[in-house]
């Protein structure tokens, strides 16, 4: 009843959007109100809101930013309550377990809180579960399912809202399934140990050591690591302490390794779970929610990524299909223009908002009543990671080019990926020539545009056109490559 009571006014407000014009200022106010309401409903809704805050494919601005901000607004549970959790976990008071422990948390998340302590002469971080959180989550999920049924009936004539409800249901069910692992720190400890081992030989990427003798279902003790959250680096970037051009490639390397090589994926990526250490290393935290990635899924992901690198629209359409990203009612031909647009926008130096506006205004609205792309539950976490990385990149480099940055990382990791997948080759000679041509074009574009010899994107577009034509020629689809007017003219001394 409390959930319905708090959410009903907001649902009615959205329902009235059909007949009442809304200004950007109104949407901004309602987004803040929605975030405040969800925060008041407790940990389940805070956690789900954080997940939705990374889903720009489901939630538009300003709502997505308001929901993402909830990770910074979780009120702390008082120390006496959390101290009792520690006492029950170990059978004795916290003072008898730890040499010292702070009574003010370093961080307060939706499911638990982290405290600084010392044990066996070491500085450690102690993660303590909020009491009763398991029962609360179960009850909240049941109530939310009932609310979604009502919302679906209210908005049955609004295809956009119905699509958002369907996507939210995917998020809800995936959350309900995965969160069961998050409320047992013994499972998280095992995940952290495995991920730490996977990165043991990777310089620049670290995972805290777990002190296994001190791990209980509701308490976890790990090595204390210094660092700044990846969304709070402005001062260090401004002072030159860290090179922002190295942060995003390292993030891409970490998540690509987990997803494509190890098959154990960190499924709760948000800025507070990622830190940059004083020496510039990337620190990964919080492994309560992980996903095992099957070899079949990894093969499909690799084929799709390589198609994107060589700017192969047909290969990308096939990849989207294999990954379940094509909506059930859509055909491949309906999917193709959207994929082509996504590929083009990802190859450009543009802001995230510019890409989203173009996608919404020029493609989805003008061409489709029902969007041909649907994100299945198996892809939710990969989509969150992509959104996180692009959001962080554009925070420090507003006109971020995802493909230009990701391509060198993918090509460097490709041998290890193929070895992990048991494959000795991935592409035909035509595909390899197209890939190399595209990469060279992207590299020359970066150098030339920085020197002022050409506009950003000119040489990359030329390289893409040439790559497609060379691939077609080598595949026997065309008599000879045509350069469509030749390469762009370089401009000496261009400002």
For 153-166, write each residue's pLDDT tens digit.
Answer: 877 877 767 777 77
Residue 196 has pLDDT above 90, yes or no: yes
Q: How far apart are CA 488 and CA 305, in angstroms?
A: 27
- The per-residue pLDDT for 493 is 44
Question: Which tens digit of pLDDT belongs to each residue from 413-448?
Answer: 888 888 888 864 455 555 545 555 555 555 555 555
Question: Which tens digit of pLDDT belongs to each residue from 353-391?
Answer: 555 555 544 444 444 456 677 777 677 778 778 877 877
Tokens of 341: 């647009």
- Residue 325: pLDDT band (50, 70, 90) is confident
Q: How far apart are CA 88 and CA 94, in angstroms?
A: 10
Residue found under tokens 């007949």: 19
- Residue 262: pLDDT band (50, 70, 90) is very high
CB 52 within 8 A of CB 59: yes
Sequence length of the chain is 495
- The per-residue pLDDT for 403 is 76
Distances (CA, A) of 68 to 289, 445, 465: 18, 34, 38
- The per-residue pLDDT for 450 is 55
- The per-residue pLDDT for 63 is 82
Q: Say whether pTM exceeds 0.85.
A: no
- For 273, half-sphere exposure in the C-beta direction (CA atoms, 13 angstrom radius) is 20
Question: Which tens digit of pLDDT belongs to each residue from 110-164?
Answer: 789 999 999 999 999 999 999 988 888 888 888 888 888 888 887 787 776 777 7
Lowest-confidence region among 67-71, 90-94, 335-339: 67-71
> Domain ranges in the chain?
2-74+132-182
């Amino acid at each position: 009843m409390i959930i319905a009571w708090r959410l009903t006014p907001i649902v009615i407000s959205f329902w009235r959007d059909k007949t009442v014009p809304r200004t950007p200022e109104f949407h901004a106010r309602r987004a803040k109100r929605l975030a405040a309401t969800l925060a008041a409903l407790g940990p389940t809704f805070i956690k789900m809101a954080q997940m939705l805050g990374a889903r720009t494919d489901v939630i538009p601005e300003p709502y997505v930013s308001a929901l993402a901000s909830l990770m910074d607004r979780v009120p702390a549970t008082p120390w006496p309550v959390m101290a009792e959790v520690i006492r029950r976990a170990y059978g004795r008071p916290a003072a008898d377990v730890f040499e010292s422990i702070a009574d003010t948390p370093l961080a307060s998340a939706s499911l638990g809180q982290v405290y600084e302590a010392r044990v066996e002469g070491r500085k450690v971080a102690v993660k303590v579960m909020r009491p009763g959180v398991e029962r609360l989550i179960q009850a909240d999920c049941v109530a939310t399912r009932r609310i979604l049924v009502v919302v679906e009936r209210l908005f049955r004539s609004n295809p956009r809202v119905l699509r958002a409800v369907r996507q939210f249901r995917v998020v809800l069910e995936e959350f309900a399934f995965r969160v069961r692992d998050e409320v047992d720190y013994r499972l998280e400890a095992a995940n952290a140990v495995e991920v730490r081992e996977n990165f043991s030989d990777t310089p620049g990427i670290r995972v805290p050591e777990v002190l296994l003798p001190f791990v209980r279902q509701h308490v976890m003790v790990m090595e204390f690591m210094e660092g700044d959250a990846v969304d709070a680096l402005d001062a260090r970037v401004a002072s030159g302490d860290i090179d922002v051009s190295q942060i995003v490639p390292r993030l891409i390397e970490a998540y690509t390794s987990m997803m494509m090589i190890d098959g154990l994926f960190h499924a709760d990526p948000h800025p507070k779970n990622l830190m940059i250490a004083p020496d510039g290393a990337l620190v990964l935290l919080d492994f309560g929610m992980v996903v095992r990635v099957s070899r079949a899924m990894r093969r499909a992901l690799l084929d799709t990524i390589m198609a994107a690198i060589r700017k192969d629209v047909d290969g990308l359409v096939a990849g989207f299909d294999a990954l379940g990203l094509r909506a059930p009612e859509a055909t491949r031909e309906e999917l193709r223009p959207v994929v082509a647009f996504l590929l083009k926008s990802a190859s450009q130096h543009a802001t995230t908002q510019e890409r989203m506006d173009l996608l919404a205004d020029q493609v989805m609205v003008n061409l489709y009543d029902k969007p041909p792309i649907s994100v299945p539950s198996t892809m939710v976490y990969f989509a969150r990671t992509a959104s996180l990385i692009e959001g962080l990149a554009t925070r420090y480099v507003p006109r971020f080019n995802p493909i230009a940055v990701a391509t060198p990382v993918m090509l460097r990791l490709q041998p290890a990926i193929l070895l992990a997948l048991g494959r000795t080759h991935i592409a035909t000679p035509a595909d390899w020539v197209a890939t190399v041509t595209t990469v060279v074009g992207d590299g020359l574009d970066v150098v030339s545009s920085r020197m002022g010899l050409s506009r950003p994107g000119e040489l990359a577009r030329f390289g893409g056109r040439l790559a497609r034509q060379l691939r077609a020629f080598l595949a026997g689809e065309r008599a000879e490559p045509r350069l469509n007017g030749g390469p762009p003219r370089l401009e000496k001394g261009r400002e």
